[in-house]
Structures are given as structure tokens and as C-alpha cells.
Structure 1
């Protein structure tokens, strides 16, 4: 059977807003399957100024059209530079790249309809001008994946489950958990079809922890490296019980969330509870880290008809030993493992997914999962810039 191979680059910038994950991928396809081999990976961090501006814009209450316009163009240039740097690191001629898949940086995700100017509107906004990538790389760029699914009635998220079904399904029940700013899980039933896939955002990943660590260290640390701060404290049952009343946890899939829900008001409520109940900041960080794990366990128990035999963890949270410890304590009858143990680069997984999604777009193949996003029908996600 003839197998075709292409080189592609996938770019991912997540809700942690810490930088650009860039993956060089060899994508091979025959008549029945698609395979993706990671050839090179690098994370290009945002400067502190860029990160702080993005965080400010993502609140939805600051900035304006000028600021968003300029950031759109700046990110486009940063994405283009990341592609060139990755090719240089890999020793690959940039003209050998067939296409680039770029997620963009989410500023706002509104899956629930709201009243707006006499209408009810849902929407999502990822920025980063793909024209700069196309100009510098000389190849098509697929971007802006989420809006097409939303136009078909879906939530525009999660979009990675399609690629996980293609690449990672097995003859046993498997769950793939990505812990970025937000945590999302995909459950692949043994020998299941794509319509059998269960996937959704479980709740916060690192974003609450990161903010509290930054406050606790007075800006010296941007995150809890290795989960050391959390492991030095003790989770508060009272605070955890309070946080588990979060309305998002009661919503059945399809569902997705982001900084729009886990916002400054959510954080303020946690701080006020800790002050009233004399909970230290270290114990608060330990509890919020535990909360990330508890949300995952709660979600699997409440919303999945299958219990996975193994849970494969990727994203920045896979490096947080506190979160990993809590997951292992909760999922007693499941092998909790870091993605490396399954032969998957935990930091590159989402960027690889962008390359695979782009491949399907260019091949004119539907690449959403309606049973996951709630879309009325399959669609081809992604806009192509030539």
C-alpha cells in the first residue's frame, strides 16, 4: 500500500500563555490511517511583557481594538520566527515544510450564548496573523480551527480529541489528560469508533496555581516548579469542599471552559475563604493543586461510561509532582503515567495535534468530533492562508 509522507509544523499557545510550542512533524498517510512522528520540538517563551499584556487582554475588560490589532500582528511575527528557528534547530530547509498548523492565542472563548445587541451570541477569538508565517515559510498555513465548529452549533472545544483518536487509540480503555492552563481529558473506549470518544475540559489546570504562586513569591516564580510548594503544604478539606461547589463541575458534556470562568472573581473567592478560615498560602496552593486532580476524577466518575485502565498525562501539569501524586491517590484502579512512559512527548503533544488537524483540513477531511463538541454535524475546521 502506497504511503505518502510530508513535513509539517504545529504551533500551540495555550491558556497558560507562557509561550509558543513548536513541533516539527513527519505525517504519513495511507488509505486507512494517519501517523505522526515528532522530529523536533522547542518551546519559545513569551517575554514577560508579552505575557502580561496577553493576560490583561484575556480578562475582556482591558485593552481595545488598537491593542488587539497590534498583538495580532506581533504574535504572527513571533509564530513565523518560531517556525524558522525550529527548522534551523532540526537542520531542515524551511522550503521542505509542506504546511503549518497554528492554533493561535486564545483571548476569549464564549461557548455559552449571551445576549448581545438584540441577539444571542457565542464566539471564540484566537489571534496571531497567519500571513506572517505564510510569508516567511512559503507554504500554506491552517489556523482559526474553532469557529467553524461553533458555527455548526458546537462549543469549538475541545478540538484535539480527533487527533487523539487517530494516533493513540488501543484495544483497552485509555484516557489522555492534558494539563495546561485548563485541563482537558479524552477517553478512548477500547476498539471504539470516533462517535464513542468522550472528551471535555475538566476544569482548571495550572492557571489558578500559577497566579497564586506568583502572588506568594511576590513575582519571583511564575509557577510551582515540580509542585514543590504544594508538596510542602497540606490540602484543606474545607477549602476543597468549597471549591468543589463550582457550577462548572455540575455541567454535563459537551462543555468547555477557560479564563472567562476561572477569573479574578473566582480567585478572589478563594483568597477570602482562606482569610476567613485561617488557611495559609502554602496550604491554599496545595489545595488548589489538589483541586485540579479532583476535578479530573470527578469528571471521569460523573460523565464517562468507561473507567480507563490507564491515564496518560501531558502538558505542563505532568511536571507537577503534587498534581501527579494526587491523581495517583484518586485513580487507584488505573495506571497513572506521564506521557513519556507511553512514548509521547508531554510538552509537544498539543503542537503535534495542530499539525495533524491542519493535515486533515488540507485533505478536505472533517476534523471535529460532534459527539464531543456538540456540533450538529462534522465539519472541516481551519482557515487556510496561501
Structure 2
């Protein structure tokens, strides 16, 4: 990242995110200078505040108006605490900060292939964050893109293009969070191609919780999947998932790769060992990702490398097998480009909040399918 200070419109911005894995709030404090193609970002601090397992389960099981109402405010409190910690760790006070960008926690994401009324819902009440911190908040970033005919996702391609483009080169930025997504960035923003590749860690996380009776929330260090063997027939069954046949623009969530799929898989444990289920789930993520590259990316781009971020990067089994499957295409951590991978998506929402204040459109219609570029987010004073 570039730390030059000559650009105008310097702001201190917090970015907040809880991803589809529902494991933690990621919070960053950034200095952001300029806007659009000239923007520069300096990361000042990054904190990760894990959710207790019982809170994660509360989020995953919320399915009625009362529980969603209460959760909206409970998440707001946790996001506010994370923001204050990031500010303090960055050596600043709340009154120094210009804006907080909060993505919130996605509770439902229903693009057009899932609903006749395309829609998306993120919780984490912005008014609570503003009240606890004394800082204005920009939130609810996805809805304007949906209103403009897009899928509201992915949003991170704007950051990928702003930070990681290199003249004359096409780079793939692969996130392996709960859901996998990729951005391919080159010189022009309008040439960016980005979409959800399919499962990331979500299926693995759900199986790990069941296999260990909640002792582990993920396939820690690949310890569970390494013990198993891939079941070919089950893998092919998983790869017939209808989402994987959709052309971009496309986006996914827990609706397609969450508890209902995990439950169906777990029922197979009567015939397949739990460790083999875990190994097959890893292969599902690897193969879905690789086939997305072979179908939609490699025919169109000559890629310099794939730069990976997200929780999946900490699963050595997943990374070993993805690297082997994509060879000879180099697979590297996004840290090689100068940004700690755990901070990347939170930095995106710090940037989107700054662009909101600048009035700069920050969606990428070539990624989301929106009819036009629009300013994202809603401002809470």
C-alpha cells in the first residue's frame, strides 16, 4: 500500500466486517487519501474479535422477526466495540476518525436466481455503532446496487482494482471465506470480472462443528480433512449444485451452501466416515474454484498469478490442493501485495465509506450486473 501524504481529502476511516463464516468481527483503521483511481490507503491497525460459539449459533439460527430484531442491536454493540479497539490500537481517539464503514452481518442474500424479489439483508445497527462511538457510520452497502439491478455482490472488486491493479497485467484475487469469490483486475475498472466461485469454508465449518460436537468451529489446520479420503461419487454429486452452472454475474450465500447442505451431507455419515466427508468438502471447494477459473477466467485472461485471502488460507490441506489443482498458475497469499490478508475485506468497507463521503460510485457493474455505477451505502450521523 502507498503511504504518500500529498493527496487531498485525507480521512481516518474504520472498516468493519463479519463474513459468511460468522466467526469474528474484523476491524481496521485506515488513512485514506483521494478518491477513485487516485485513492491511496494506509493500514494503521487491524483487530479481529472472535464471536463466542454460542453467539455464532445465535446468528446462524435466527429465523423470526423477534430474534432478528434483537440480533440487529446485539451485533451493533459488538461492531462498536471492535471499532473502538481498532481506533485505540491505531493510536487515535474516536474524535479523530472521520467515518466508520460497516458491512454488518449478512443474514439473507437473495439474488435473482433465488427470488422473484431480489433482495439482501445485513444486520448490525448503524445507530448503535454511531451512538457508542460518536462517529458517523456508512452502512448497508449492498442494497443500492440491488436496486440498480445488480446482485449487490461482490463488492470487494472495487478495492481489488484500487489497490492491486498493475499496468499491463491481469491479476486474480481469490477470497476463501465462507463463500469463495474472485476478482480479476487489470488497467480499467470496467474490464474487471468478479463473481462468487462457490463454496469456501462454509461447508467445512459446518461439518467440523458437527464432527467435534462444537469443540472446533472450523477444520483447524486441516487436521480433520487430512485424515480422510475423497469420495468420488459424492464429490460429483456436490459439483452438480445448480449454482456452479450459472454464468457470472453470480453471488451466493448460506442459502446455497449453508446448514441445509451440511445437514444433507452429514446424513451420509452413516455410509461415509466423517473424515471422508471433510476431505470431500475440501475437494468440493477446490474443484468448484478451479472449474470456475477454467470456464470463465482462463479463456479470457492470461493471469499473472492468483493472490489468496480469507480464512481458507490458514487451512494447509485446502491451500496445498488448490495450489496443485491450479498449477502451473502461481498461487500466493495476498500479503505478497503488501496487505495482510485478514484485514483485506474490512479495508474494503473503510474505502467504500470514504467513497460515499466523496460521492464516488463504488460498485462494479461488470461484477454485479447493475445497470449503472452508483454511490453505495447509507449515512447515519
Instruction: Give the TM-score normalised by structure 1.
Output: 0.92
Task: Give 1:53 deviation, angstroms.
Answer: 0.9
On the 8 A contact 2:21/2:202 being kept in 1, the answer is: yes
Query: In structure 2, what is the equivalent of residue 92 of structure 1?
Result: 92
What secondary structure is seen at the aligned counterpart in 2 of 1:121?
Answer: coil
In 1: Cα distance, 2:304 partner to 2:79 partner: 38
Query: Which residue of 1 is the match for residue 220 of structure 2?
Result: 225
Q: Is the 8 A contact 2:80 2:133 kept in 1?
A: yes
CA distance in 2, matches of 1:54, 1:264: 12
Match of 2:142 in 1: 146
Contact kept, 8 Å, 1:141 with 1:384, in 2: the verdict is yes
Aligned length: 373
Q: Which position in structure 1 is the counterpart of 2:10?
A: 5
RMSD: 1.7
Q: In the alignment, is the contact (CA less than 8 A) between 2:47 and 2:85 conserved in 1?
A: no
Paired with 1:215 and 1:112, the residues of 2 have a C-alpha distance of 32
Aligned residue number for residue 180 of structure 1: 177
Once residues 263 and 114 of structure 1 are traced to their aligned partners in structure 2, the CA distance between those partners, rounded to angstroms, is 14
Q: Which residue of 2 aligns with 1:45?
A: 50
The secondary structure found in structure 2 opposite 1:348 is helix
Matches within 5 A, 1:242-257: 242-257=237-252
| Equivalent position of 2:3 in the other structure | none
Q: Which moved more, 1:306-315 or 1:252-261?
A: 306-315
Distance 1:114 1:182 in 2: 16
When residues 375 and 29 of structure 1 are mapped into structure 2, their CA distance, relative to the original with a 3 A threshold, is same
Is 1:260 equivalent to 2:265 in the alignment?
Answer: no
TM-score scaled by length of structure 2: 0.94
Match of residue 65 from structure 2: 65
Q: Quote the Cα distance in structure 2 between the aligned partners of 1:357 and 1:45.
A: 24
Give ranges in structure 2 of 5+ residues lacking alignment: 1-5
Distance 2:35 2:356 in 1: 16
Deviations 1:328-379 (A, max 9, x none): 1111121101122332211110000000011111100111011110111111
Moved over 6 A (4+): none
Once residues 114 and 349 of structure 1 are traced to their aligned partners in structure 2, the CA distance between those partners, rounded to angstroms, is 28
Structure 1 unaligned segments of length 5 or more: list them: none
Q: Residues 179-222 of structure 1: CA distance to partner in whole angstroms, max 9, x if unpaired?
A: 11111111113x3x111111011111111101111111122111
Which deviates the most, 295-304 or 97-106?
Answer: 295-304
Q: Is the 8 A contact 1:239 1:273 kept in 2?
A: no
Matching residue within 7, 28, 51 for 2:33: 28
Work out whether 1:162 is the aligned partner of 2:158. yes
